[in-house]
Chain A
Amino acid sequence: MSEWVLYEVFVRSKHGLNHKHVGSVHAADNEMAMENARELYTRRSEGVSIWVVPSATITASASDEKEALFDPSEDKVYRHASFYKLPDEVGHM
């Protein structure tokens, strides 16, 4: 099985929703990855669409980059609607 490729599986649970990561499978090729994902992750109509992606092709942010990547947005409170206080008379906006 070592020659088989590790795939990450993403399932769209309902029309209109995003695909969400659910786990992984091993397979010899893309078609088999799809079949295995179907058997493993959607036995009880958990989804309407499946993506399988070779794990090796995913680029992920490293945990030690967390501050560099995500901290700058912490001090930009003006990017949120709640930053802008409006008088009650204006009503809902």
Chain B
Amino acid sequence: MYAQMVDTGTKRLKTLEEMSPEERDFQEKIDAETKIEAKNWMPDAYRKTLVRQISQHAHSEIVGMLPEGNWVTRAPTLKRKLQLMAKIQDEAGHGLYLYSAMETLGADRDEEIQKLHDGKAKYSSIFNYPTLNWADMGAVGWLVDGAAIVNQVVLQRTSYGPYSRAMVRICKEESFHQRQGYQILLDMMREGTQEQKDMVQDAINRLWWPALMMFGPHDDESPNSQQSMVWKIKRKSNDELRQMFIDQTIPQLEFLGCTVPDPDLKWNEERGHYDFGEINWKEFYDVLKGNGPCNHERISTRRKAIDEGAWVREAAVAYAAKQKQRAAKAA
């Protein structure tokens, strides 16, 4: 999931009887699957939660460009380089769709980005891991975008209209990302040298657990989930989504001829799902706190991009003002 542990600011769910008439009206709309739009009345906590979740999601898209940017100049062929650049441009686009959706709630884009750069806003833990070899580009597309798709397909039905529509647009583009990633790995496994095949397995070994962490803590450790589900901001729980991802990914893994670093992974006939081992939650919380392998590097790269691009933005404003003046004079 691209948004992890989003705070809803509520301690306990209200019953319909406890709600004000406005709140009840709002909740009944949600229960009836009517989308909430920007101008509709909404509880303050719903608005704040959405701003947190959508901005976090947007930041993840933007920071998510960085691990891949590492490989643009190192892609093995021109074809792979073009594909990678198209994917990275899509991620920028996804970030912008989401910032737009967030702005409909009255939030300011610059302020939210500033929070990210000050270390006050979260983004997905997955992007704090390094991309060390070319197979990582394949594994990121296949596993990371794959995990994001599982989450985002469900979010197309989220209760807030602008967020839901951004998700529809994003989902259309994501499947290209996942396929291109899987194909990179498939090519390496089918036609590669032993060394290249080892790179694929190495990439999967390093990224498997962080990909599972993307879905966030267990349901009973996820204090905000319940409210988010009632508001239908979230539609499925963290554990449900994680299980869906594992179930659909393992057959693809086996087709590649690779394994995951989990001795407890096995098909459970009775449940009709894969069983799997326990995630290292200490690592998850450490990364969220800012102590992952790349947290510092990611944020400083973002800050540098904003600072060094300042003159371009200023020039654009100056040029627009000059054009306006000229047009006024000519008239």
Contacts and interface: CB of A to CB of B under 8 A. Distances in A.
Contacts of A82: none
Given A26-B109, A28-B320, A60 B39 contact: yes
B324 interface: yes
28 contacts: A1-B109, A1-B313, A2-B108, A2-B110, A4-B313, A6-B103, A22-B169, A23-B165, A23-B166, A23-B169, A24-B100, A24-B103, A25-B100, A26-B109, A28-B313, A28-B316, A29-B316, A29-B319, A39-B89, A39-B93, A40-B93, A40-B96, A43-B90, A43-B93, A62-B39, A63-B37, A63-B40, A63-B41
Given A32-B320, A63-B39, A23 B97 contact: yes
A3 B103 contact: no
A23 B323 contact: no
Interface in A1-48: 1-4, 6, 22-26, 28-29, 32, 39-40, 43-44
B317 A43 contact: no
Nearest to A55: B103
Contacts of B100: 23-25
Interface string B60-103: 00000000000000000000000000000110010011001001
Return the 8 tightest CB-CB contacts between A and B, nearest first. Answer: A29-B320, A28-B320, A28-B316, A63-B39, A24-B100, A28-B317, A23-B100, A63-B40
B166 A43 contact: no
Given A29-B323, A62-B39, A4 B89 contact: no
Contacts of A63: 37, 39-41
Contacts of B41: 63
B311 to A, nearest CB: 13
User: What class of interface size applies to chain A in its complex with B?
Assistant: 20 to 34
A69 B216 CA distance: 45
A50 to B, nearest CB: 15
Contacts of A29: 316, 319-320, 323-324
A43 B89 contact: yes
Interface of B: 37, 39-41, 89-90, 93, 96-97, 100, 103, 108-110, 165-166, 169, 173, 313, 316-317, 319-320, 323-324
Nearest to B108: A2
A63 B39 CA distance: 6
B269 to A, nearest CB: 42
A45 B313 CA distance: 28
A6 to B, nearest CB: 7
Contacts of B93: 39-40, 43
Contacts of A62: 39
B166 A4 contact: no
B96 A25 contact: yes
Contacts of B96: 25, 40
Contacts of A26: 109
A62 B39 CA distance: 7
B316 A32 contact: yes
B230 to A, nearest CB: 22
A19 to B, nearest CB: 16
Nearest to B315: A28
A40 to B, nearest CB: 5
Contacts of A23: 97, 100, 165-166, 169
A3 B109 contact: no
A29 B319 CA distance: 9
Contacts of B323: 29
Contacts of A2: 108, 110
